[in-house]
Amino acid sequence: MFQFVGCGSAFHTQLGNNSAYLKSGSHLFMIDCGSANFDRILRANLLAGVDEIAVLVTHLHPDHVGSLGDLLFYSYYSVPPAGKAIATVLTPKKLSHDFRTLIKLMGVTEKYYRHVEISDAYRPVGMGDVSEIKPVPVQHSRGLTCFGYLLEVAGKRIYYSGDANMIPTDVLEALKSGQLDYVYQDTSKAEYAGNVHLSLRQLTELIPPPVRQRVYCMHLDPPFQSAEATSLGFQVVSPVALANPS
Q: Each residue of 211-227: pLDDT tens digit?
A: 999 999 999 999 999 99
Residue 246 falls inside a structural domain: no
Phi, psi of 135 (to 5 degrees): -70, 145
How much is the pTM? 0.97
* Helix spans in 58-210 (H): 62-65, 68-77, 93-105, 169-176, 200-206
Question: For position 18, what pLDDT does the model report?
Answer: 98
Distance between CA atoms of residues 99 and 47, nearest Å? 24
How does DSSP classify residue 188? E
Residue 241 falls inside a structural domain: no
How many residues can be counted in the chain? 246
Question: For position 80, what pLDDT does the model report?
Answer: 92
Residue 41: its H or E element: helix 37-43
Cα 107 to chain centroid, rounded = 23
Residue 113 falls inside a structural domain: yes
Question: For position 127, what pLDDT does the model report?
Answer: 83
Structural domain span for residue 134? 3-236
Distance between CA atoms of residues 112 and 105, nearest Å? 14
**pLDDT under 70 in the chain at which residues?**
245-246
Asked if 162 contacts 201 with a C-beta cutoff of 8 angstroms, the reply is no
Distance between CA atoms of residues 189 and 50, nearest Å? 36
Strand boundaries in 38-197, DSSP class E = 52-56, 87-92, 114-118, 130-137, 147-153, 156-160, 182-188
Residue 243 falls inside a structural domain: no
Residue 245 falls inside a structural domain: no
Residue 242 falls inside a structural domain: no
Count of domains forming the chain: 1
Question: For position 126, what pLDDT does the model report?
Answer: 79
